[in-house]
Structure 1
Amino acid sequence: MIPFDVTVLSARPDALSVDRTVCDVDGSRFAVRLDVTCVASEPVVAGLRVSVRLGETDDPGWLVPGAFYGENRVAGCRVRYPRFTRDAPDPALLESAEWGLRADRCATPAVFAWDREGGAALVTTEWSPLGQAGVGLAMDGEHPVLRLHFPYREEPVVYDGSPNPLPADTPAFEWYPGRTETLRFDLHVLGPDRHAYAGVLCDLHRRTAPVDADTVPWVSVEDAAALTAWGLYRWHYVAEDAVLLETAAFDRHALGEHGDRQAMHVSWISGVPYAYALLRHGRRVGNDSYVDAATAVLDNIANHLTPGGTFWGQWTRANGWNAGWTPDRRRVHARTLGEATLFLTRAVALGGPPQWRAAVVSNLDVAVKGQAADGSFGAGYDVATGEVLDRNGTSGLAWIPALVEAAALFDEPRYLDAARRAGRFYAGAVEREFLYGAPEDVDLAPSSEDGYLAIMAYVSLYEADGADEWLALARRAADWTLTFRYTYDVDFPPHTLLGHYDFRSRGADQASPANQHLHSYGLICAAELARLGEHTGETYYTASAEENLACFRQFVARADGDFNAYRGMVSERFYQTACYQPKGMLLTLSHAWCVGVLLLACEARLG
């Protein structure tokens, strides 16, 4: 076992006595119990730090699931959030060579790192007898140091979702003479393979399966489909513009349309995927109003292409069709385009009109034309010419499933050839465990959404030709994506909305290290994740897909007034930590994509 140190913080070291019990579970996982007693003659205020110091390396490969990935923020990223660097770090810019984080920022309260010979992980729980726990990472010379804190320490500064850091938050525990508290954590000894984190998280997932998983959802899959179809149609669809508005405010009386975002992205946060889901639902249940609404939205998007041949990024009431949220107004984002193309292809497969097919072909031809010799797609495209403006990040993965499905639907082998070349190019990023650049709003940050693209891409390739290389990459992509998925139920204060409604967070995803809130976007690939479980026989994937769908069949408004929303509304943000809003709050906006991905996942389940 790798040795660990226990340090008393904020008090004299001899104020606390620490007795250790270590149980060798399987030769690589060691269950540790610390019995800590106050031996001072008067009360002391103190915390504890557990540290593991590894050997030398210049690349520790930090991983705090859901919260920290390697350096975490590449140097050129426009969005500011915590970054690890040893090159003159400036905490005012959220840069540091050491970080402490509270446990509820973590999808699993754990920290992983490697040296040149192997690695280690420290894993704990959200709460301990000393209060909320925390994780940490630091470099001691050339040696990575993994940390646990009891109670947590957020240092050197606190990230609250804004680019301006808050002062460090370092609570301590009040000990009285003779008082003993017991702390528990696991220490994992890892080999040199940096994908070894997957085995740790998979094992933890199996050991902590909730006994009441069937009682978590508020509604059945069938009821969730009916509610979300109504919500999308009633609150987000605007017939005169043939759009799905991105947001609808809960408080209709006070805010009315002024609280609704008068805009529609063509994909991602609105648009094609959710119109497709509504179309599919409407046809299944025989609701012509839903079918007509979905068809109108898809017609609107398909009939308005850029001069360069792609979809636009967004429509707004004020300015019409435009590039979306990218700072360069000439640039449309590959992920937004690729995702819209994929779901319009699926709509064509349901028997859509010729203009839908023409729009799909136009977008795919732009992507194929811009594909580089190495197989990479663009990350951004010029609205005027369709030329590639940049290839930063891995958002080009979004084109792969669209190409695969269109190749089969249109009998177009060159699309599948392009998808295979891209699959081999992006394999390097999957193997390096760092995917980034998918959402328009976090620039080059790694995010759960990057993982969803990779799962969809490699599952589609495997299902197209059955090659083992694609299945291996799909598994690796899923393992990385599931680092964002919460393996426990966050303890919400009972006075908060999430606490009062007993919201269960297991199965939800952290959006990204930059956007630290729980979101439901993983439902967009729930079907692919479940099929991956079937292809591999790995119940970890199928169970995770089930938990994801169960989690977000909570907080679907069942009737007007349910959690202050209207029937069929679904929020985007569940605040599980101190970021953007206090822990336990809920964003009081219904988002088209949140309603839509749940409808999509339900329809996939219902067939």
Structure 2
Amino acid sequence: MKKRLLSVVLLLFSCAMIDAQEVQSEYKITLKSPGNPAESYTLTEDASGYLKASQLLPIEIRQQKEEHGSATRITVTLRATDLVYYNFEEVCKLSTMQHADCQFLMPGFWYHRNMRSPKEAPSFATSDSWQVREDRLSTPLTGIYSDKTGDFYTVVRLDKFENESLATHSAGEIILTDKTSLGFTGFRNVGGTTALVFGFPYSEAPKTYIRKLTLAPAVQAFEKLEKGETRQLVWEIRKGKAADYSAFVADVWNYSYDTYRPQVYTDAMSTAEAKRVLSNFFTESYVNKYDLKYFSGVHMRTDDCESTGSVEVGFVGRVLLNAFNALEYGEQTNNTDLINKANSVFDSYLKHGFTPNGFFREFVDYSHNNETDIYSIRRQSEGAFAILNYLNYEKKQGRKHPEWEAKIKTLLANFQKLQGQDGSFPRKFDDQFRVTDPSGGSTPSATLPLTMAYTYFKNKEYMESAKRTAVYLEKELISKADYFSSTLDANCEDKEASLYASTAMYYLAMASAPKERDRYIDLSKKAAYFSLSWYYMWDVPFAQGQMLGDVGFKSRGWGNVSVENNHVDVFIFEFATVLDWLAKERNEPRFSQFSSVIKSSMLQLMPVKGHMFNIGKVGYYPEVVQHTNWDYGKNGKGFYNDIFAPGWTVASLWQMLSPDRVETYFNPKKK
């Protein structure tokens, strides 16, 4: 029996091992002499592990491999025998996997083939082979998944990631001014065979992505090694099998979490202090000189945070949710100023905030005397979400608002007219219900107010509509692992679509009977892994002079935005609460552990006197946090864009800091 068990164990172990015939490695070193074009040299491995060129080079390279079950740890040591400027590359061809059969993953940046992204952003529309600098990615990892066999391979970089160097140029061959910890990772089509590609220092090809919808020529960085100086690099290649792309993403996230073990940010603000500081936004941003009263939260400058004439119901403005937050907090702290401001916002929207057919006036620009006449299911839903929270709160205080209830019923009737037979909602439309963008990626945003309205009004029609969204979400987004076009300023794969899908299932579970509830929990979990994959496991390094690095910013727990918008932000709202809930419902301790990382880390850039983090006013939380070589047009890595929208950042963090809201909404007896 012992022999039999031993043979079974050995068989399982051998099956998990990476076969050397399946992964065929090629190596290249590129050396640059200042003022001259770089030259590349193919390397071959000898019996002792040294990687050698056909001619003597001023650098020695040795590779060591260690097998750990299904993973192979690769350690590359470079030692300069003379002054040298180098860039090292390794290509691992996966001989059993054809490139055409594969889908790809670079967490927080690349999903499937990025084909929902335009050709002006990284996607297969431009090339079927890409390599990028590691700080673009929430985990410095590339994964390749075979649709045909279910096999996958990943490569992840293991390092302390302590250093970064300012670059003199953003394209071409660059000699770095100092040490960096950033390498590159990606995938390549090698004559029809797919391959993992990785190396150091960073090298991006066939293009580098420097600005929204702006690709630049390739970039290759060179690090200097003095004579006798060494550099050690470590990667881990892992083989696995998954039932589908969703299972692949979930497996990679769990592996990434176990590999990096991100820790809670220890100097985080308390909830009470964070809300106190954020509440200054309500005090200072209030504008009362137009028919709509509002908290100015969009299109403002980071340096002075002066209020603007723009007001937005949802998306980046979130004026109604901020009004509810201000009202609730004002009553909790006996702040009559906040109470009065919040009530004036609600009163003005009740009187002036709707179109002739009963939609919210989504975006009004008083400075230029214009407003949008194209509406979105996302903004409309976020407005309805805020008002239903407000009405539910007011009812608990014994205050009734029949006019508001009538307005919301009209809006929800409009929703029902817009909903398609498949359960989806169009992304954009006008006041005459003419659809201008039929894409269903924003559908989950409508699920939240529909389930809330069912609970508030006790109207089963709202729940039926919500259930129909779930059918669409399961069929078109979750089962296809295709989360797209939720964010309104891009049309691509994005974090918010998966986050909203997971949160939508959470709301449905809160409002459903036990049998249906289990199904929604499982769907929420499946979508949650995609949303989680956008959140950083590690702390990207910054160079001295890049403000975020100088103030000690840690990127772990912050989420990248979308393929088009390559920066991190604090979009979280209820998702941390969803993670804590899923951790209990499905015994997933990693979820609650990472939720703790998110909740602590996302508060670290709170602008307070003496620690303003380049923001003009206390509590105006930053939005476009540029953590890699990409910008919206201003400032670049280590800084913010000069224009920001603190309306949604304050609302997002406030919702995160109010974790009992959803449960007490659906279960009013719970406190």
Fold in common (TM above 0.5): yes
Q: What residue number does 1:203 align with?
A: 255
2:384 is aligned, of 304, 323, 341, to: 341
Q: What residue number does 1:462 align with?
A: 509
Q: 1:301 to 1:537 in 2, by over 3 A?
A: farther
2:640 is aligned, of 572, 586, 589, to: 586
Of 491-500 and 352-361, the range deviating more from structure 2: 352-361
Q: 1:17 to 1:207 in 2, by over 3 A?
A: closer
TM-score, normalised with respect to structure 2: 0.80
Q: Kindly state the Cα deviation for residue 311 of structure 1 after the two structures are TM-superposed.
A: 1.3
Q: 1:290 to 1:22 in 2, by over 3 A?
A: same
Q: What residue number does 1:5 align with?
A: 25
**CA displacement 1:42-92 (0-9 Å, x = unmatched):** 8463422242425125342211111112232427x5x9321213xxxxxxx
Q: 1:600 to 1:42 in 2, by over 3 A?
A: closer
SS at match of 1:583: coil
CA distance in 2, matches of 1:369, 1:207: 48
1:316 is aligned, of 365, 368, 374, to: 365
Q: What residue number does 2:479 align with?
A: 431
TM-score, normalised with respect to structure 1: 0.88
Q: What residue number does 1:49 align with?
A: 90
- 2:301 maps to amino acid: A
Q: What residue number does 2:281 align with?
A: 231
Confirm or deny that 1:35 pairs with 2:35.
Answer: no
Q: 1:208 to 1:41 in 2, by over 3 A?
A: closer
Contact 1:332/1:382 (<8 A) preserved: yes
Q: Kindly state the Cα deviation for residue 367 of structure 1 after the two structures are TM-superposed.
A: 1.4
Q: Kindly state the Cα deviation for residue 405 of structure 1 after the two structures are TM-superposed.
A: 1.1
Contact 2:560/2:566 (<8 A) preserved: yes
Q: What residue number does 1:88 align with?
A: none
**CA displacement 1:84-118 (0-9 Å, x = unmatched):** 13xxxxxxxxx222212111110111111122211
Q: What residue number does 2:401 align with?
A: 353
CA distance in 2, matches of 1:153, 1:586: 24
1:181 is aligned, of 204, 219, 231, to: 231
Give the gaps of 5 or more residues in structure 2.
Answer: 1-17, 31-39, 44-52, 163-178, 395-399, 662-670
1:21 is aligned, of 25, 50, 65, to: 65
When the two chains are superposed, the root-mean-square deviation of aligned CA atoms in Å is 2.6
**CA displacement 1:148-183 (0-9 Å, x = unmatched):** 121111112211114332221111344567655322
CA distance in 2, matches of 1:125, 1:41: 27
Q: Kindly state the Cα deviation for residue 318 of structure 1 after the two structures are TM-superposed.
A: 3.4
Based on CA coordinates, which of the two structures has the bigger radius of gyration?
Answer: 2
2:103 is aligned, of 61, 68, 82, to: 61
Give the gaps of 5 or more residues in structure 1.
Answer: 86-94, 324-329
Q: Kindly state the Cα deviation for residue 239 of structure 1 after the two structures are TM-superposed.
A: 2.6
Q: 1:166 to 1:222 in 2, by over 3 A?
A: same
Q: What residue number does 2:334 align with?
A: 286
- 1:104 maps to amino acid: D
Contact 2:599/2:656 (<8 A) preserved: yes
Q: What residue number does 1:545 align with?
A: 595
Q: Kindly state the Cα deviation for residue 534 of structure 1 after the two structures are TM-superposed.
A: 2.7
Mapping for residues 293-308 of structure 1, pairs under 5 Å:
293-303=341-351, 304-308=353-357
Q: What residue number does 1:536 align with?
A: 586
Q: Kindly state the Cα deviation for residue 449 of structure 1 after the two structures are TM-superposed.
A: 1.5
Confirm or deny that 1:246 pairs with 2:289.
Answer: no
Mapping for residues 205-604 of structure 1, pairs under 5 Å:
205-211=257-263, 213-217=264-268, 219-234=269-284, 236-241=285-290, 242-247=293-298, 248-252=300-304, 257=306, 260-270=307-317, 271-303=319-351, 304-318=353-367, 322-323=371-372, 330-351=373-394, 353-383=401-431, 385-428=432-475, 429-442=477-490, 444-465=491-512, 466=514, 467=516, 468-559=518-609, 562-564=612-614, 565-580=616-631, 581-587=635-641, 589=644, 591-604=646-659
SS at match of 1:111: strand
CA distance in 2, matches of 1:462, 1:81: 37
- 1:123 maps to amino acid: V
Q: 1:57 to 1:102 in 2, by over 3 A?
A: closer
CA distance in 1, matches of 2:618, 2:502: 32
Q: What residue number does 1:157 align with?
A: 207
CA distance in 2, matches of 1:110, 1:281: 42
Contact 1:452/1:524 (<8 A) preserved: no
**CA displacement 1:295-352 (0-9 Å, x = unmatched):** 22233334422233221221111355732xxxxxx42111111122122111111116
CA distance in 2, matches of 1:439, 1:261: 22
CA distance in 2, matches of 1:276, 1:540: 32
1:171 is aligned, of 201, 204, 221, to: 221
SS at match of 2:86: strand
Matched residue pairs, number? 577
